[in-house]
Amino acid sequence: MLNTIKGVIFGHAVADALGVPVEFCTRDELDIKSVIDMEGFGTYNVPAGYWSDDTSMTLAALESLANGRLDYNGIMDNFCAWLGDGKFTPDGDVFDVGASCRKSILLYAGEHLSAIECGQDSEWDNGNGSLMRILPFILYTYYKRCEDPIQIIHNASRMTHAHERSLIACGIYAHVVWSILDDRSVEAVYRGLAEAERYYLGREELEHFSRLFELDFAKLPISEIKSSGYVVDTLEASIWCLLNSKNYKECVLRAVNLGEDTDTVGAIAGGMAGAVWGYTDIPEKWIKTLARRDYIEELCIKACRKWYC
């Protein structure tokens, strides 16, 4: 269990850090100079191993959930501590914040609403900002054997992204990861996708994800895969990378080198890859480079102890 939790969380964080230096680079640029190792600086003036908002918000959620109970307001308090005080960052500096996340956190801080009432709900608020931080909730619902786990996943998204398209994206990802945790294989992705399709059948917003449910999705050429910050593009790209890889390293390098939203596509693919191949498949050199790795491991250990049934 601990190896799995570490695989998922470190898998996410390491891939995030791999993508940070090349965020917003085009695919053509990365075709010329591909990411092959952990690097620093580049897009942001930060050293190698530094993560972005993807991992900061993931750790903020994990710290609360690792206490063994679900407290949306407590998690949103952690998001406020991240945005306002730099907690859950590599060095106290917040250098990357999505617009919908910022609006929702400031709304919570200023209006004193419930955390799950703060999410932005327009069609233009379907960036990947809830998908990028949903893994702790997926792990929590799996190991705590929660009733109605999809409702928890949806509520977790609603904290920042409340449009149904974002809720479904998080739900599809959750079904895929739950299936992987049951089976520890790439093939489990297909079962998770099938379960998600059945769950959301009849919902109009599901049509935006239709390519994922096609039998030949994994065979699409790279030219058909977009890696933008739009939640549908991000989910498709990360799953496509996993389905076309044989180990953690191959998966996350494939994801990062797609270009554009490199840290988030990498992180979401990396979480799944960590679930499939485990913590020990993540290159040791990358883990040693990761900022605050001891703190991340402590959170994983605490979660394991509190979630063990």
Q: Rounded mean pLDDT of 190-198?
A: 98
C-beta separation of 17 from 304 below 8 A? no
The tokens describing 50, both together, are 């530094």
Model confidence pTM above 0.75: yes
**What pLDDT was estimated at residue 122?**
97
Tens-place pLDDT, residues 216-251: 999 999 999 999 999 999 999 999 999 999 999 999
Q: Rounded mean pLDDT of 191-211?
A: 98
**What pLDDT was estimated at residue 112?**
85
Tens-place pLDDT, residues 20-42: 999 999 999 999 999 999 999 99
In the structure, what pLDDT confidence band is assigned to residue 12 with cuts at 50, 70 and 90? very high
Q: Which CATH class is domain 2-307?
A: mainly alpha
The tokens describing 268, both together, are 């979401």
DSSP per-residue string spanning 22-80: GTT--HHHHHHS---S----TTSS--TT---HHHHHHHHHHHHHTTTS--HHHHHHHHH
Q: Rounded mean pLDDT of 136-155?
A: 97
Tens-place pLDDT, residues 280-291: 999 999 999 999
Q: What is the mean pLDDT of the chain?
A: 97
Cα-Cα-Cα-Cα torsion 189, 70, 151, 112, nearest 10 degrees, comes to -130
